[in-house]
């Protein structure tokens, strides 16, 4: 086997592994986001149920809202980290795809769309374009933004708990 064909085989294997890692990473991000939203829903429902009762245990209300705030802050940091990891996976795939013909590149058109807001479809030769909103609302923004909004709500509920 020639050195060239051996390198191509190794690149193909590395690409397959990189695609699988990227897909696995995306699955983890989505599963963690779902778990975070579920936990926040439970905390907010518990808080609302206790707050609407005639007996308002202020310390429990405060602890529930504090837990929501800490969970949101932790998830915002994790969400930012997850976005960076996914970027590294994407960059690795782009590096491995660099020598492939355009018709075989999977990540290049996606990266072009993410970075520039438009990409050419390899077979149809037409453009796919994002509008301004689609271009700027990325997964990382949603991960951090959702946790930031829920953290702010929890902070508000914390002060409401102290007020009685």
Share of the chain above pLDDT 70, in %: 99
Confidence of residue 1 (pLDDT cuts 50, 70, 90): low
Burial, 38: exposed, middle or buried (Cβ in 10 Å; 0-12, 13-18, 19+)? exposed
CA-wise closest residue to 36 among 65, 80, 82, 79: 79
Mean pLDDT of 97-111: 85
pLDDT at 153 over 80: yes
Question: What is the residue-averaged pLDDT of the chain?
Answer: 89
Indicate the pTM of the whole model.
0.79
Confidence at residue 164, expressed as pLDDT on a 0 to 100 scale: 63
CA-wise closest residue to 139 among 33, 68, 18: 33
Where does 53-131 have alpha helices with state H? 58-97, 107-116
Q: How far apart are CA 112 and CA 121, in angstroms?
A: 11
Task: Give the H/E segment covering residue 129.
Answer: strand 127-129
Mean pLDDT of 83-109: 88
Mean pLDDT of 51-74: 93
Q: Which are the contacts of 106, defined by CB distance < 8 A and separation ≥ 6?
A: 19, 93, 97
Span between the terminal Cα atoms of the chain, in Å: 77
């Amino acid at each position: 086997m020639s050195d060239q064909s051996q390198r191509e085989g190794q690149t193909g294997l590395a690409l397959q592994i990189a695609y699988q890692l990227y897909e696995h990473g995306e699955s983890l991000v989505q599963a963690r986001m779902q778990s975070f939203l579920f936990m926040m829903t439970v905390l907010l429902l518990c808080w609302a149920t206790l707050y609407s009762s005639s007996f308002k245990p202020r310390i429990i209300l405060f602890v529930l809202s504090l837990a929501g705030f800490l969970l949101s802050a932790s998830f915002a940091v994790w969400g930012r980290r997850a976005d960076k990891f996914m970027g590294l996976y994407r960059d690795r795939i782009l590096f491995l795809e660099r020598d492939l013909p355009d018709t075989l590149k999977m990540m290049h058109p996606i990266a072009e769309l993410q970075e520039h807001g438009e990409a050419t479809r390899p077979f149809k030769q037409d453009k796919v374009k994002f509008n301004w909103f689609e271009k700027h609302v990325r997964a990382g923004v949603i991960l951090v933004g959702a946790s930031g909004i829920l953290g702010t709500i929890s902070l508000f509920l914390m002060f409401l708990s102290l007020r009685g």
